[in-house]
Structure 1
Amino acid sequence: MAEERQRIDKWLWFARVVKTRPLAQALAESGKVRVNGRKIDAAAQPVRIGDVLTIGIAGRVRILEVAGFAERRGSHPEAIRLYVDRSPTPEPAPEDEES
């Protein structure tokens, strides 16, 4: 892609972070997304390669570094090439001890 930036709603959808473009727009406008530590509230916010996105979604926090762009929504193997996942590994739930 010749452009050096892309709208965050398109990027979130192309990277398969959410299932639909309207969901990507709503997520971007909800204030649950940060770009390089700054909270955003606009679906048109541009992202660039190297930007770090912190996303609060589905009860967890995902940290994704933008590694590329796409011109369309592709398969999962294509989508995972668009980012480096820097999310912390979820801690396993403590097991109940029986006395």
Structure 2
Amino acid sequence: MRIDKYLWCVRYFKTRNLATEACKKGHIKVNGEAVKPSREVYKTDTIIVRKNQINYELLVLDIPESRVGAKLVDLYRQDKTPAEAFEQAELQRLAQDYYREKGEGRPTKKDRRAIDNLLNDFQEDTPDELL
């Protein structure tokens, strides 16, 4: 079975076209080598799928006839993705949320006017020798 079809069958991609594009971009590796979408997949192959900044490691257990239900996916592949990959992705997500929360960042026009008014009031109240 082709690698793009296999990844679609075991539900790593929503459409076969997305799986094909991932192969063309080099996000899919079989046994350590970047592959084309037409590469055949065999039992005991190790597949690395780069998706959402996580490298998923899969071991092919069997080849499905067609797309399988979510409950049956584990019959055809074994997920060997290390837990550290998911933890790192979660940390990146949290760091991004912490870095810039909604409403922070560049001041709005209203904020800028308030800052200008505050600075003008400060300059008017401060004696000239302190400035």
Query: What is the TM-score normalised by the length of structure 2?
Result: 0.63
Would you say the 8 A contact 1:73–1:79 is kept in 2? Answer: no
State the match for 1:27 in structure 2. 22
Question: Which one has more relative contact order, counting CA pairs under 8 Å at least 6 apart?
Answer: 1
Q: How many correspondences in the alignment?
A: 90
Distance 2:17 2:59 in 1: 22
The unaligned stretches of length 5 or more in structure 1 are 1-5
Distance 1:72 1:66 in 2: 15
For residue 54 of structure 1, give the secondary structure of its aligned residue in structure 2.
Answer: strand
The unaligned stretches of length 5 or more in structure 2 are 95-131
Does 2:38 align with 1:38? no
1:81 maps to a residue whose letter is L
Does 2:55 align with 1:61? yes
How do 1:1-99 and structure 2 match up within 5 A? 6-40=1-35, 42-89=36-83, 90-91=86-87, 93=91
Identity of aligned residues (%): 28
**Structure 1 or 2: more helix by fraction:** 2
**Structure 1 or 2: more strand by fraction:** 1
